[in-house]
């Protein structure tokens, strides 16, 4: 469970922006969107194959 505490003198907008960044880094929203609808195993394999992957030297390859 992700949480962000308001800092002294911080606006709610800035705290919300920090929360969104944190959720994006953790992949929480992406995971929730994927689980919203059932995905067939064959579709999941096809989607995973399309995702960019890191090669041995840390560069992305398609």
pLDDT digits (tens, 9 = 90+) for 3-30: 889 999 999 999 999 999 998 888 888 8
Helix (H) or strand (E) holding 39: none
* Rounded distance between C-alpha atoms, residue 34 and residue 17, angstroms: 22
pLDDT computed for residue 28 by the predictor? 87
* Rounded distance between C-alpha atoms, residue 62 and residue 47, angstroms: 12
Helix (H) or strand (E) holding 54: strand 53-54
**Alpha-carbon distances, residue 4 vs 13, 14, 19 (angstroms):** 12, 10, 6
Calculate mean pLDDT across residues 26-53: 86
* Average pLDDT score, the chain: 85
Query: Can you give the pTM of this predicted structure?
Result: 0.52
33 DSSP β-pair partners: none
Domain ranges of the chain: 12-61
């Amino acid at each position: 469970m992700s949480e962000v505490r308001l800092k002294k003198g911080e606006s709610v907008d800035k705290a919300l922006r920090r929360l969104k960044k944190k959720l994006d880094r953790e992949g929480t929203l992406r995971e929730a969107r994927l689980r919203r609808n059932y995905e067939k195993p064959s579709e999941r394999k096809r989607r995973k194959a399309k995702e960019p992957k890191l090669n041995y030297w840390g560069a992305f390859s398609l």
